[in-house]
Amino acid sequence: MSSNEASWIETEDWHTAGEPFRIVDKLPTGHLPEGQSVAERRFNVMKKSEHPLNVLRQLLCHEPRGHADMYGGFVTPPNDSGAHFGVLFWHKDGFSTACGHGTIALGYWAVNKGLVKAPEGDGIVEVVVDVPSGRVVASVAVKQGKPIHADFINVLSYQLGKGLPVKIPSHGSEISVDLGFGGAVYATVDAAQLGLKVEPNHCGDFIKLGREIKVALGEKGNYGTYGLYGIIFYDEGEHAGDESVAVTQRNVTIFADGQVDRSPCGSGTCTRLAILLAEGRLRPGCSKLLHRSIIGTLFEADIVCEEKSPLDEFPACIPRVRGHANLVGRMNFLIDPADPVFPGFLLR
Ligand SMILES: O=C(O)[C@H]1NCC[C@@H]1O
């Protein structure tokens, strides 16, 4: 694709629990960023706003081809032969380090496309994906050769901070937030502190509050090279019977700059699992988190195992999140530099 010529680009669009995931399998020549790993490729595309892959992100994410809550991934080579492929996740403001809903969609996509050999009848097939935060797995269950659900098995996840006091303009008194890592850094907040329920009619409030909390936390929200990615507002749900069997919560995750996750957020769910482990409310191998989204869709999550933690104060675990993805359509977009709104626009 030369910079002044119009060209076409194909995508396959999925959603996982309502959250969009637009997959670009074949990148135009000259678009793959340099790097030995997906993490290096991400750093390299982020260094240069005029990088052709960053322009392609805006074209496919922003209006009129996308919208302020659009999300997707560019498929790349893996870091080495241990993974099937790599992916650079993108959202309206840039490239993220982790994406559970996208990994679930990629699991379905790879099986449907025949990129990994699935059992002809019933069984499980593992799709191994290199993402910027490490190597993750979509473990796809198939029935008569077709995916029926996928488990996102994430990188090591753990709590980073407990009860950090935060003062924000929209709320009179100080609130308290926990910080955690699930491939990306999240601040998690019990929405009851703000007098809010996680319901679609409060979506605008959560966008505003999420932005305010991010600003108020400032550098305290960073962890090494990871900046604070999202704010998870959660409600405690009804106890599903025995507390040792399940914790039920509903959340909305506001990520990047005011982007709203329609799904329960895969990497956010991993962060909540790690915090619930630290609080002693979940245990590896025997209890679950039933995690609903703001639109009511569900991820079912548990802890595969506890592992050595990089921090003395908090335990660490390998989390697993089960979800469903659905194909939305196959698109063929015209990319025309002469379009008066090239490469696109946003109204948030
Ligand atoms: O499921 C997830 O992990 C992603 N969903 C949007 C924000 C996160 O990257």
Q: Predicted confidence band at 188 (pLDDT cuts at 50, 70, 90)? A: very high
Question: Domain 157-323 class?
Answer: alpha beta
Query: Nearest Cα to 263, choosing from 101, 74, 81?
Result: 101
How far, in Å, CA of 293 to CA of 321, rounded? 13
Write out residues with Cβ below 6 Å of ligand 1.
19, 71, 96, 98-101, 255, 261, 263, 265-268
Percentage of the chain modeled with pLDDT above 90: 94
pLDDT digits (tens, 9 = 90+) for 86-138: 999 999 999 999 999 999 999 999 999 999 999 989 999 999 999 999 999 99
Percentage of the chain modeled with pLDDT above 70: 97
Q: Rounded to the nearest whole angstrom, what is the distance from the C-alpha of residue 340 to the centroid of ligand 1?
A: 31
Give the residue range(s) of CATH 3.10.310.10 domains in the chain. Answer: 7-152+327-335, 157-323
Q: ipTM value of the model?
A: 0.99
Pocket test for ligand 1, best of 99, 226, 257, 262 (most atoms within 8 A of CB): 99
Q: Among the atoms of ligand 1, which is closest to the Cα of residue 261?
A: 6
Q: Which residue's C-alpha comes closest to atom 8 of ligand 1?
A: 99
pLDDT of residue 82: 98
The dihedral through the CA atoms of 238, 243, 245, 251 has a sign that is positive
User: What does DSSP assign to residue 301?
Assistant: E
How far, in Å, CA of 86 to CA of 128, rounded? 9
Mean pLDDT of 203-231: 98
- Compute CA distances 99 → 58, 124, 194, 229, whole Å: 18, 21, 27, 11
Count the Cβ atoms, other than its own, within 10 Å of residue 173: 6
The dihedral through the CA atoms of 211, 216, 218, 224 has a sign that is negative
Is the pLDDT at 189 greater than 70, yes or no? yes
Q: Predicted confidence band at 348 (pLDDT cuts at 50, 70, 90)? A: confident
pLDDT of residue 241: 63
Q: What superfamily would CATH give domain 7-152+327-335? A: Diaminopimelate Epimerase; Chain A, domain 1 (3.10.310.10)
The pTM score is: 0.97
Note if 317 is an active site residue.
no
pLDDT of residue 3: 64
pLDDT of residue 243: 59
How far, in Å, CA of 313 to CA of 21, rounded? 36
In the predicted model, what is the mean pLDDT of the chain?
96
pLDDT of residue 275: 98
Token pair 């492929």: residue: 85
pLDDT digits (tens, 9 = 90+) for 260-304: 999 999 999 999 999 999 999 999 988 999 999 999 999 999 999
Is the pLDDT at 1 greater than 60, yes or no? no
pLDDT of residue 239: 66
Q: Among the atoms of ligand 1, which is closest to the Cα of residue 266?
A: 1
Residue 58: strand pairing partners: none
Is the pLDDT at 230 greater than 80, yes or no? yes
Helix axes 266-278, 100-112, angle to 10 degrees: 130
Pocket test for ligand 1, best of 22, 92, 254, 265 (most atoms within 8 A of CB): 265
Is the pLDDT at 240 greater than 80, yes or no? no
Q: Give burial (CB, 10 Å; 0-12/13-18/19+) of 294.
A: buried
Query: Nearest Cα to 75, choosing from 47, 49, 102, 94?
Result: 102
| Lookup: tokens for 308 | 């050595």
How far, in Å, CA of 103 to CA of 96, rounded? 13
Is the pLDDT at 244 greater than 80, yes or no? no
Question: Greatest CA separation found in the chain?
Answer: 62
Residue 322 near residue 139, CB atoms below 8 Å? no
Q: Among the atoms of ligand 1, which is closest to the Cα of residue 268?
A: 3
Q: Rounded to the nearest whole angstrom, what is the distance from the C-alpha of residue 122 to the centroid of ligand 1?
A: 29
pLDDT digits (tens, 9 = 90+) for 112-121: 999 999 998 9
Residue 38 near residue 348, CB atoms below 8 Å? no
What's phi and psi for 233, nearest 5 deg? -100, 125
Q: Which residue's C-alpha comes closest to atom 6 of ligand 1?
A: 261
Query: Nearest Cα to 56, choosing from 44, 43, 65?
Result: 65
Out of 61, 99, 265, 270, the active site residue is: 99
Pocket test for ligand 1, best of 152, 188, 251, 267 (most atoms within 8 A of CB): 267
Q: Rounded to the nearest whole angstrom, what is the distance from the C-alpha of residue 218 to the centroid of ligand 1?
A: 21
pLDDT of residue 242: 63
Mean pLDDT of 184-194: 98
